[in-house]
Homo-oligomer: A and B are copies of this chain.
Amino acid sequence: MSTPLKNDLFLRALLRQPTPRTPLWMMRQAGRYLPEYRATRGEAGSFMKLCMNPQYACEVTLQPLRRYALDAAILFSDILTIPHALGLGLEFEAGEGPRIDRPVRSAADIDQLPTLDPEVELRYVMDAVRTIRRELDGKVPLIGFAGSPWTVGTYVVEGGSSKTFSHIKGMLYGAPEQLHRLLAHLTRATIDYLKAQVHAGAQAVMVFDTWGGALSPAAYREFSLRYMQQIVAALPREQDGRRVPVILFTKGGGQWLAEMADTGADALGVDWTTDLATARATVADRVALQGNLDPSVLYAPPAAIRAEVGRVLASYGHGHGHVFNLGHGIHQDVPPEHAAAMVEAVHELSPRFHV
């Protein structure tokens, strides 16, 4: 834990401190677009076995860092580890997305949810964090993460992915107190989980609110943002004498950035449907911003990728507090050399925004 960090650009940018260039990482950087990832996953046998074996999880976490000059590693895991640990029966079926065998829909279902000890039921995650920290050896910081209670709740109530969110929205509008009890339970579990990740060695944490953007503004405030705020408030903000920044990311949340900044988070993720110039003006430099290249830009040839990287950097503009990233996870059919073109472009084009 005491290895000095050789590259702390990412942590400094999250705290809006000066950096000589814009640091970057990629959401889902350890993923199927990399042949070495597919090989390791094949060896592990399944996605959950990859997550649950600290050696495999460490291996795939480090793979993108061997290829690209990235400024952060992110724990290889899934936002559904908590429902899995709650005993709801999580399965990933090929091409089908996640499935939860025992969805939580009644008051009785909610009452029966166990309280988790992350060092017991989720010990494999903490072991992965410790293993990765050791193997990283201070090269770059390690990001821990969890899904937002609302987002995890959508899978827990729907029993998997959904386009209409019929069950959870039926509950949200028809039995809001019941949904609040579920979200409160998930929030407590998420706080303990993220605390344990920080204790195990995560140097920043990110909360992924993938489905907050499916809500109306009023419902977002009450059922998603409120619980993320509780997480931000409860997390330890220092570890080993260094601040542990918290990043909130609501996909489709471009209209709510000011309220998200009010939570006290250090940084906000921004998807590509909001200009970083607009976002920066909205949050008035109270928080750092992370984003926001459209992941589908990586389907274009390298010269076009470079031009779009330049647009994103220019959109944030001069000054510190920007972490370059995609606006969502990298797509699995992107050629790895296109990701390389993006990384190179950030290294080459960003210094001029920091003078």
Contact = CB atoms under 8 A, between A and B. Distances in A.
Contact of A173 (B167, B219, B275, B297): B297
B273 A215 contact: yes
Contact of A255 (B164, B273, B304, B331): B273
A296 interface: yes
A167 B333 CA distance: 11
A297 to B, nearest CB: 5
Contacts of A172: 300
Contacts of A272: 216
Given A174-B304, A255-B274, 5 more contacts: A165-B296, A166-B333, A172-B300, A173-B305, A218-B311
A273 B216 contact: yes
A206 B153 CA distance: 36
Contacts of A164: 295-296, 299, 331, 333
A209 to B, nearest CB: 13
A213 interface: yes
A274 B308 CA distance: 28
Interface of A: 164-167, 169-170, 172-174, 213-219, 252, 254-255, 272-275, 278, 294-297, 299-301, 304-305, 308, 311, 331, 333
B166 A296 contact: yes
For the complex formed by this chain, how many copies does it contain in all? 2
A169 B297 contact: yes
A166 B297 CA distance: 9
Given A166-B331, A170-B299, A254-B255, A216 B294 contact: yes
B174 A273 contact: no
A216 to B, nearest CB: 5
A174 B252 CA distance: 25
A333 B170 CA distance: 12
A280 to B, nearest CB: 14
Nearest to A256: B273
Contacts of A167: 299
Contacts of A304: 173-174
Contacts of A217: 273-275, 278
B301 A174 contact: yes
Given A217-B274, A273-B216, A331-B164, A300 B173 contact: yes
A293 to B, nearest CB: 9
Nearest to A295: B164
Contact of A273 (B165, B213, B305): B213
Nearest to A272: B216
> What 9 A-B pairs come out closest when comparing CB atoms?
A173-B300, A170-B299, A169-B296, A174-B300, A173-B304, A216-B272, A166-B299, A174-B304, A164-B331
A214 B300 CA distance: 16
Contacts of A214: 273
A272 B217 CA distance: 8
A331 B331 CA distance: 28
A170 B300 contact: yes
Contact of A252 (B273, B296, B299): B273
Contacts of A173: 296-297, 299-300, 304-305, 308
22 contacts: A164-B299, A164-B331, A164-B333, A165-B296, A166-B299, A166-B331, A169-B296, A169-B297, A169-B299, A170-B296, A172-B300, A173-B296, A173-B304, A174-B299, A174-B301, A174-B304, A213-B273, A215-B294, A216-B273, A217-B275, A252-B273, A255-B278
